[in-house]
Structure 1
Amino acid sequence: MESFLHLPTIMVMHTGSTLIATLILGLMWFRRRDSLLLTMLLLASGLGCVSTFLQILRGWLPLGFASGFGLGLAALSLGLVWQAQAVFDGHRPNYFHASVGALLWWVLNLLPLVHESQIMRTVIIAAILGTYSMLSARQVWIGRIAEPLPTRGLATVLHSLRSLMWLSAAPLAVFVSPAYPAPNEFAGWFVLSSLVNTFLVVLTILSVLILAMERAERIHRLASELDPLTNLPNRRNFVTRAETMLRRSEPVALLLFDIDHFKAVNDNHGHAMGDEVLRRFSRVIEQKLEADWLFARIGGEEFACLMPCKTASDAAVVADLLRTETSAIRFPETSLRQVTVSIGVSEKSQTAVGLDQLLAMADAALYRAKSRWTQLRAFL
């Protein structure tokens, strides 16, 4: 047990594990050298490895170099990890913020009051490293609002634990024992803290890589659930979510849209204009819907909207409003004058519980609406 909790051994383990993480990141970076995230993580891991190696050579190197310069590299490493997490969440990196901790440490080490006091050095570096880890945890956590990835909670805990480990070093050094009570002696709390930190370093780097994998999977999943032209849910997504809404809500109304004479738009104005009609129609309708309504493109020029807690009468009022909004869409850049839409309405009832039944009823109502419109045009 004593040899296991031997600080130089732990430092060697720390250096080795960080070196392995650096090599893995280096291989990933070599395949994607345009990735700023991988570049920053690779640099952070490399600096951390060098910093730990300098701590191993503490007994053979001048203290000002091993501790002063080496721990500054550790601060820079954690600053880069923080900014790498910001880059992951879509922000521009702030290299000054990443390096200000290291610069502060190097400047303070020039002061005799700091340089000659081990406890003072421990308190300062613990505050710097703990603050950077805390900022990383905060960045990971607030990123969940825009992108709720499963591993964000774990990554937040890991960064928070690193912050706790570093910040706890200050009171332990002041009230229990300095990290190095005498030459070749190490405080028990410092040895245990170094051991835990060895695992946390690798785990925090891995957590960022796992988050990147989860993002790629999420993007792929969202792409498979959205219509690429209108960015609305596609039919498969609509069916899955609609069935859940039908089980939970009572009453539920369905609107089924079909853009009138859409084939003529494509034939007379081109398919590019047809695509533009679909995009403008979807944007106009989407702006008029409530947040909990499910609106999707389920076919070529067919759209559907499921409205929880609405009756057929409520839906008919909404349909009339949306029909008017559609007629108001203008295309001044072309000879296309107007676009109209026919809408069928149905409501969940004892005889129509499932989505297929609602769609069939709404489709029948839609067909009747189109027939009346065709008869009216023939009469005119």
Structure 2
Amino acid sequence: MTVKTSDGTRKEGYKGHGEGSSKRTSEKTNARGKREKNSPQTKVVARRLPPTMTEEEFLEAVSPLAEYDYFSFVPADKSLGAHAFSRAYINFKNTDDVFTFRDRFDSYVFVDKKGNEYPAMVEYAPFQKIPKRAGNKKKDIRVGTIDQDPDFMAFLESLEKPESVQLPTLEVVLEEIQAHERELKANNGIIKVKTPLLEFIEQKKAEKLRTKEERREERRRKEFERKKAREEDKKKRKDFRDHREVKKEEVREVKEDGSVKREKRMKEEKKRTEKEAKMGEVEEEGNERQEEKGGAGGGTKVKEKEIITIKPKEASSPAKRDKERKRESPTKHNQKERRSGEGGRTEGRS
């Protein structure tokens, strides 16, 4: 790598691999360009020659010529009209011969057969390279072997023995004509031409439409599946809600049935207690009447009335009621025995 210092000198430094290779390539290109540039130009062109001049006439006019290795005469292009000129290219072997030819024929006046004057102009040819000679071209090994070519031999045989051609029948020709007329009517008088390109385009269009239809069907199927899944999910949620409502209703009915049965049971207990209280009062009244009758007949002492007040029982549980019945039953039995004993004593006294 070359570095330019502050004092204007160049300093060589480290060269990388890529930089070195690119530099070598550029050096080769520059060397080739310099060699071509420094090589002397030996190819010249003589322009503005008469349009009717031929190659022999030009060589005769400029003879004797110095030693050269390339010569090319280009006739005039008549389509250019007044600007049609001939020209000649010459490549000299010696550089000094170039200047000699220029001094002789630059601004040299050539006269054609009609007496028209054409001042020539000599200059370096823009393209200094010399075309390759036609003799150096490699000869084709197949030149002159067409008689042994199998395709050519088959062609000659087909010419000697032509194949018999079977023409279609009249009915087939008429059917083709009628089909052609029907096709013209269907296409509004335009002949429908089918070529491989048009068939290929139609095939591509059909494939595109088929692919589009398949995609549409796939979208419809997926949408139907999604809709079905949504409906199933909705149905499951609805069934769950209905089941929950049914459960709640059953629980509510059970609670209501329990409360109704409890109220009914309480009413029955209340009626039973009231009935027992009335029966107790009736028994007390009957005992009092018997005692009054016994006191009036025998003159016995009337025992003090035993006043028994029966309070209505409060509503209680079945177990509590059973205990109360057991507790009350002995007392009632004792009262009956006591009353029967007192009645027997009163009768004996009497």
TM normalised by structure 1 equals: 0.18
TM normalised by structure 2 equals: 0.19
Q: Which has the higher helix share?
A: 1
Structure (1 or 2) with the larger CA radius of gyration: 2
